Structure 1
């Protein structure tokens, strides 16, 4: 038996006896409970300092050392030397497949897993799970949304792409680097899947079909849409000047858009689009914010207790009110504070149809060829007769093994 397996077995056997793991209660043995231990926590915002203090008050035998570290940086540190990072680490769900495959993360307890399946939104559950087993502690969701100038466009105008682009102008990025993340969900909108329905099948992508061709035809048609402006880095500036009236981005753009539009700031879910002869809801990628327990922790029970507390309803609500991370808890998404926030409301709605970013390691093969497909289609380098063959080549490229 290797060290990781022994730790995982200890964690699962002890935690199975817990009836309220999600609230941060994991039964410890008498000797473990009486010994004060130190747990390191890595998270990306100082708001978690006060959360840690509350946790320590209720758990006097656990001392938490907080360190502010970007959630997207966690994986490179844990891969370099897992013993130097936090016992509990904030990261993004798309990195989970790599972390699990390399044996760098412990599984959650059966009790916590059951509780998450009851209390968190469907996408968050998927984001915390890999190959049918839960390894992460979800606390938030993130999607792109539609930001718009409400002096130029009404709430009804932005419900449909056709109406939006007839009455206003939207900045898009089809022709430059970065088109992949924003527009790949067009394929999901039209019924195709990336790495299978669960995002874990190496050869499960089916973009190379008529639905996929229709996606590229839709993109091609936007070149002649007067309401569509190819505009990447300059979108915010053009929103400020009035050159464009809307653009697609995520919660990270909220402050900048509010500054640009002031009293005319508005946000909504994505519009519907007309594709393959039907009107369909335009989808986005779903990002799930998670904590993981480092496989190298010397205190798996206490680390899991902290991780479960950090993702509890109480903490999700507090963090949303302080810094705006949209909660993954179904209960907290229904609270008045979330519902009255236009951005949180839009993300909550979008999260119900959004496709979680695949966690499979082959996702690293996806970005460059996906950009090429969109960029070349927009620039007219791919004709309609070439679209299917280009998509077949794309599927072959992304299914290759990774190092």
Structure 2
């Protein structure tokens, strides 16, 4: 059914041409002015006849105040233009869904996770990036590649750290213990603390199969169906059993909760460790103070072998709504918000890892324990690019099955069937 919907949606909407600077999307059709570092490569002339401009921006709840400040700075660059910008809280993971539901009511400029790009581009609701040259010059090659479809850039890279890592209270879990999942859980149990991860969210739950060797490999030729690399079924099954056994052995210690429960747990002295992302860095650090610890994900013992836990790592992008009433202005703002200065500001204030090449080499990044941990985990991560929309729910279901009280970790046949069903559901078969 999901396939049918996607195909119908794609056929109903024409492929979008560049909305904004009136051309192919090459930045030569936009401004000839070199960027000054803050993304303001446009002049007032590039707004064309757009004035009395009203724009809506979607940003994560915890980043709204930072984005509001950046939008005010943007407006100050163009005093001859009347610009009103409203920043609205909107989770990045739901951006594509809400945009597809009603593009006319959605934000002009919006943040979203990299796996949603194909869906947005296929539906024709995201405009091609007008400042492609700026993006290519300032962002990492990997981020630019992830933002590109068919040789054209459709999104402005915003971060390069959309992944997760192990965060822990050093008074509960030592740096040495942080290297093994078994030791982390034992330390939390001994300390009377909880270990928290969102095992019922497909973004995190995919680690269970990824660690066993089942990894995504882009989409089939239909642009909808998920492909996988070759894998050893017995190895994946054994890995699922190992995770499930730990969850059951440490029942009461292992808690499947939303990631916000980690920082609140640290603050309440009830959580010893968890799996979190850089978007919660500020809250986690404030709660733990000098006891803040960060590391790549640990290993897990699978039939006597220490297997490195494999995660998902992607990018966060900013896109321009193809239905924006102020297409040029939206493009100029999107380019500004993803420029060097704004990425540096968000790295400093929010702990976000930049995609900008210059900021990546600065102390704000190299001196961050969180960004160092995510970079180290990135060596053991599957790219969050070309992920089917059907991928998330089946993986979330798998995670919930692993932790369920009625699940018997010793029943290999159960996990074999669970794996088969998960793959079939992801592929919508």
User: What residue number does 1:88 align with?
Assistant: 109
Contact residue 162 and residue 314 of structure 2 kept, 8 A: yes
Q: Deviations over 1:226-273 (max 9, x none)?
A: 699322347667756767632222345445544654442322221233
Q: CA shift at 1:98, angstroms? A: 3.0
Query: Residue 331 of structure 2: which of 286, 301, 304 is its match?
Result: 304
1:393 to 406, 412, 421: 421
Which residue number in structure 1 is paired with residue 360 of structure 2? 333
Q: What is the alpha-carbon distance in structure 2 between the residues aligned to residue 103 and residue 385 of structure 1?
A: 44
* Residue 219 (structure 1) aligns with: 243
Please tell me the root mean square deviation across aligned C-alpha atoms, in Å.
4.0
Name the CA distance, whole Å, in 2 between partners of 1:238 and 1:8: 45
Stretch moving more, 65-74 or 376-385: 376-385
For the 8 Å contact 1:39–1:86, the answer to whether it is kept is: no
Does structure 1 residue 181 correspond to structure 2 residue 203? yes
Matched, 1:284 2:311: yes
Matched, 1:38 2:50: no
CA separation in 1, counterparts of 2:219 and 2:43?
33
3-state SS of 1:115 partner: helix
Aligned length in residues:
396
Alpha-carbon spacing, 1:5–1:262, altered in 2? closer, same or farther (3 Å): closer
8 Å CA contact retained: 1:316, 1:332: yes
Instruction: Specify which of 58, 67, 73 is matched with residue 54 of structure 1.
Output: 73
Look up the match of 1:315: 342
Distance 2:265 2:347 in 1: 30
Contact 1:41 1:64 in 2 (8 A): no
Give the distance between the partners of 1:269 and 1:378, measured in 2 at CA.
Answer: 31
* Cα 1:365/1:273, change in 2 over 3 Å: closer
Gapped regions of structure 2 (runs ≥ 5): 1-12
* 1:192 and 2:206 aligned: no
Q: Gapped runs of 5+ residues in structure 1?
A: none
Mark the CA change 1:300 to 1:218 in structure 2 (over 3 Å): closer, same or farther: same
- CA displacement, residues 177-228 of structure 1 (integer Å, 9 cap, x when unaligned): 626433322322343213x246966141367723321321221442575699
Given that 2:182 and 2:246 are in contact with CA atoms closer than 8 Å, whether structure 1 keeps it comes out as no
**Which position in structure 1 is the counterpart of 2:225?**
202
Please point out which of 4, 23, 35 is paired with 1:11. 23
Residues in 2 aligned to 1:320 and 1:287: alpha-carbon distance in whole angstroms: 17
User: In structure 1, which of residues 347, 362, 368 is the aligned counterpart of residue 390 of structure 2?
Assistant: 362
Q: Is the CA contact (8 Å cut-off) linking 1:82 and 1:294 kept in structure 2? A: yes
- Report if the CA contact (8 A) 1:94-1:359 is conserved: yes
Distance 1:255 1:288, change over 3 A: same
- The DSSP-based 3-state class of the residue aligned with 1:332 is helix
- In the TM superposition, residue 367 of structure 1 has moved relative to its aligned partner by 4.3
Q: CA deviation at 1:55?
A: 2.5
Does the Cα contact within 8 Å between 2:166 and 2:274 map onto a contact in 1? yes
Does the CA-based 8 Å contact 1:189-1:282 persist in structure 2? yes
Contact 2:398 2:418 in 1 (8 A): no
* Offset, 1:120: 2.5
Q: Corresponding residue for 1:266?
A: 293
Residue aligned with 2:352, SS: coil
- Specify the SS of the correspondent of 2:354: coil
